[in-house]
Amino acid sequence: MKIRPLAILVSLLPFVLVFVASLYRPSDADLGWHLKYGEYAVKNLSLLRENTFSTEMPDFIWPNISWGIDVINYLIFSAGGFLALTIAGALVITTTFYFLSKAFRLTYFEKAMIFPLLLLLQHPLNQVSFRGSLLSLFFLSILLYLLFSHEEKPSKRIWLIVPLFLLWANTHGLFILGLGILLLWIIANAIKEGFTNGFAKQVIFKPIKQYVPLFLATIAVTLIHPFGFAIYEDALLHFNNPYLVNIAEYLPFDELSHLWWIHIAVASTVAIGMFLLYLHDGFAKHLSITFLTIPLLSLAYFVRRYAWPSYYLTIPFLKPVVNFFKPDRQKTTQVSAVFILLVALSIAIFIKQPFSQFSSMNWDTYCKQVVQCSPKAVEYLKEHKLNKNLLTFYDWGGYLIWQHPDLKPSIDGRMHLWQDKKGNNAFAQYYAYEQDEANIDESKYDTVLMARKKPLYKQLNRLVKEGKWTKVFEDKTAGVFVRKK
């Protein structure tokens, strides 16, 4: 059998597009503390539980349930710096698309039509590059592949879900979503059995009895974790927590914003796809994917972080919509699919120029362009030893932890849900100062490093005019203020 290089290249074209389009410079504001935790774990072969990286809540014991992503981040960064993280992020996304295409049995034409759309929908998440959320969506794609492959042709391979969750639970906290999807899939199959064979008790309970051992085994292996039951305690903290109202990913899309309209458009397209699917195959055949998609798509309307997994689940409902535009002739279909992919790839290559941006990325660029901090302001603090009673900007905590460990930030991205036994939450206290809801002059802080865009900066400027504080450093990004003694 002859190997045809052109045919192989054409077959790989959808995934080449995904890889190129998914190349982003790392822009996670929490990258620094992830690396620091990973470094500690690798060098000490143990997990750091105490808060040693910031000055607020120094005695707080933190169950770092996503410790695995910290180790992975550190190992990748140690091997190749920012470029390695960029490539790792693109590879994870590409592999996610591969398993999704297998899970939902996408044809070449469907890949050509749906992949570019998904890349646009997932851009707000993917642009951060390698992080725990991407790995969770990768694990989700494997879960969907195992579930829907089993639905089509039952196999003992479905028990691979158990080791999958062992790895997932030790990597990222979004494994909770995976457990919810697995439970909904089991319930949906019980209802589907009822539609198919009648709603007798023994019929409905047949799939439940079949899959309950799998579900219980899955929950059991998630507890094989350094923090045990604390992983579920941490998950419960995210329900109706008042501190989450200040964290963007836990908020809904701003009404009438472009992301809000995109979500409405996706929901409308899914409704059309559902109508076409049910019209062609009936409701029962697609009951399980409906059970998974609708709740998550609805939840994403209230909490934006659920939008990204929900968009992947919409693929089966996008299929009949894109196939409506498929040419009648097979050859025309193939040529049009290749043409669409080549155009999309050309656009992606153009957008990613210059590719040298990925290899030249460094911490100075990260500070100035990604988290928009000021290296000179940090150096000023260190040079003048202004590290006592210091308040720092929340988004710069991760950068300071990794790049300037001798200058501890007051707060960083780990701490938004931390609450001690007295009910104190460092983030809530910090946020009140940042938003000019509390008087910094009445605080314990004597030095402030703050972004110029924040309301606190204006308050400090007023205090300078009143002769209570002194502005000792300022550039276009940040300022350093010192209390007058």
296-345 tens-digit pLDDT: 999 999 989 999 999 999 999 999 999 998 998 888 999 999 999 999 99
Contacts 24+ apart (CB under 8 A), 461-470: 468/441, 469/441
Strand pairing report for 447-451 and 390-392:
parallel
How would residue 200 be classed by pLDDT, with cut points 50, 70 and 90?
Answer: low
Q: How high is the pLDDT of residue 395?
A: 94
Q: Give the C-alpha separation, 82 to 74, whole Å.
A: 11
Answer yes or no: is pLDDT of 3 > 60: no
Higher-scoring residue by pLDDT: 407, 206: 407
Answer yes or no: is pLDDT of 203 > 60: no
Q: Which amino acid, one-letter code, is at 463?
A: L
How would residue 278 be classed by pLDDT, with cut points 50, 70 and 90?
Answer: confident
Q: How high is the pLDDT of residue 1?
A: 46
Most distant pair of Cα atoms in the chain: their distance: 85
For residue 405, what are the contacts with CB-CB under 8 A and spacing of at least 6?
A: 36, 53
Q: How high is the pLDDT of residue 181?
A: 96
Sheet holding 469-474, edge to edge: 390-392, 447-451, 478-483, 469-474
How would residue 201 be classed by pLDDT, with cut points 50, 70 and 90?
Answer: low
Mean pLDDT of the chain: 92
Q: Give the C-alpha separation, 333 to 161, whole Å.
A: 36
Q: Report how far Cα 147 is from the mean position of its chain's Cα atoms.
A: 22
Answer yes or no: is pLDDT of 30 > 70: yes
Shortest CA distance to 112 belongs to which of 323, 288, 266? 323
Lowest mean pLDDT among 286-295, 358-367, 411-420, 475-484: 411-420
Shortest CA distance to 374 belongs to which of 399, 391, 357? 399
Q: Which amino acid, one-letter code, is at 87?
A: I
Q: How high is the pLDDT of residue 209?
A: 79
Q: Looking at residues 67-84, what average pLDDT do you find?
A: 97
Angle of CA points 197, 203, 204, to nearest 5°: 110
pTM of the model: 0.94
Q: Looking at residues 207-217, what average pLDDT do you find?
A: 87
